[in-house]
Structure 1
Amino acid sequence: MSSRPTVFVVDDDQAMRNSLKWLIESVSMQVETFESANAFIQSYYPGRSGCLLLDVRMPGMSGLELQEYLKVNQIAIPVIIITGHGDVPMAVRAMKAGAVDFIEKPFNDELLLESIRHAMAVDAKQRDTQSQRAEIATRLARLTPREHEVMLMVTNGKANKEIATSLGVSSKTVEAHRARVMEKMEADSLAELVRMAISANLTLVETPEE
């Protein structure tokens, strides 16, 4: 199975599938076509990069139902909706549900290709973000519980003396913990450590004063 980014075309109209396949391959993009939503589901495995070119009206599972299936199963692949003029309200619904674009039939070839390029860029950015978050999670797992506490306080703007008082330790001990946190998180600066904390959705819960 190829690891190249792929345009997955789902349309019950064979002539349309063939036309789209020819157009997409003409600009050296990889494409796979499917006659139904179920055929796509059976073939696709989460993690494959690319985008989904999806017709709205199809026998069996509709395009909107496939989009909902992907959302429920947390399969984050950018979706472009292809629609007939009468399906525009449905396409708007798809956009509100997260589709990156909808293209009306008959469509302009270059407009469609530009939309596909945009969807591919969205996919690449999503994957880069996921990769970064996974790496940050790996680094966080290296921290001891106390180092994790110190990181939370540091990235929430607490000074060493405040942290020392809160934890009942010396400032030198806090400095040692901070140094180990920076080393284990592979952070070159406090600003970088803060960015990692934000990416990991780390927040400090304040303890109410007595």
Structure 2
Amino acid sequence: MRNKAMIAVVDNDESVRMALDSLLRSSGYTVRTYASAHEFLFSDGPGVTSCLISDIQMPEMDGIEMYEELSARGIHVPVIFMTGNPDAQRHPDANTLKPVAFFPKPFATEKLLDCIETVLDPHN
């Protein structure tokens, strides 16, 4: 499944995008990175993404607003949120949107990879 799964990473922090790109590619995934929610939403990414990994706190449009926009468009892709702010998990809309997981930064890469595998497993 890995070589066919396209993982999108949305984070305004270039070092985070580069690190996740390297990790995911070395794990066998196809990866596209985006510096903002708008960049992702106005690309072909939403239509080809198998799993979305996004920071919650980003300028202009945060990860939760991006997730709401995807839902409004009828795009239901598994979303894994990352956050450097533990209070971001308490965002009023965070629980109603039902993302797959929240990972506080920094996080254990093996846990993230396990989460992705679980999300992409067609038997789940």
TM value normalised by structure 2: 0.87
In the alignment, what sits opposite 2:54?
A: 54
CA drift at 1:62: 0.6
SS at match of 2:69: helix
- Name stretches of at least 5 consecutive residues in structure 1 with no aligned partner: 127-210
SS at match of 2:42: helix
Query: Are 2:46 and 2:70, in contact at CA under 8 Å, matched by a contact in 1?
Result: no
Q: Greater RCO between the two (CA within 8 Å, min separation 6)?
A: 2
Deviations 1:87-112 (A, max 9, x none): 2313x842431211111111001001
Equivalenced residue count is 121
CA drift at 1:44: 2.5
In the alignment, what sits opposite 1:191?
A: none
SS at match of 2:31: strand
Query: Are 1:17 and 1:33, in contact at CA under 8 Å, matched by a contact in 2?
Result: yes
Query: Are 1:46 and 1:75, in contact at CA under 8 Å, matched by a contact in 2?
Result: yes
TM value normalised by structure 1: 0.53
In the alignment, what sits opposite 1:37?
A: 37
Query: Are 2:8 and 2:49, in contact at CA under 8 Å, matched by a contact in 1?
Result: no
In the alignment, what sits opposite 2:13?
A: 13
In the alignment, what sits opposite 2:90?
A: 89
More helix by share: 1
The verdict on how the C-alpha distance between 1:95 and 1:81 changes in structure 2, with shifts beyond 3 A counting, is farther
SS at match of 2:74: coil
Alignment of 1:13-162 (within 5 A): 13-44=13-44, 46-84=46-84, 85-90=86-91, 93-121=93-121, 124=122
What CA distance in whole angstroms lies between the structure 1 residues aligned with 2:87 and 2:110? Answer: 23
The verdict on how the C-alpha distance between 1:95 and 1:118 changes in structure 2, with shifts beyond 3 A counting, is farther
Q: Which runs of 4+ in 1 moved over 3 A?
A: none
* Identity rate, percent: 35
What CA distance in whole angstroms lies between the structure 1 residues aligned with 2:41 and 2:9? Answer: 12
Q: Which moved more, 1:81-90 or 1:10-19?
A: 81-90
More strand by share: 2
Q: Which amino acid in structure 2 is aligned with residue 116 of structure 1? A: I
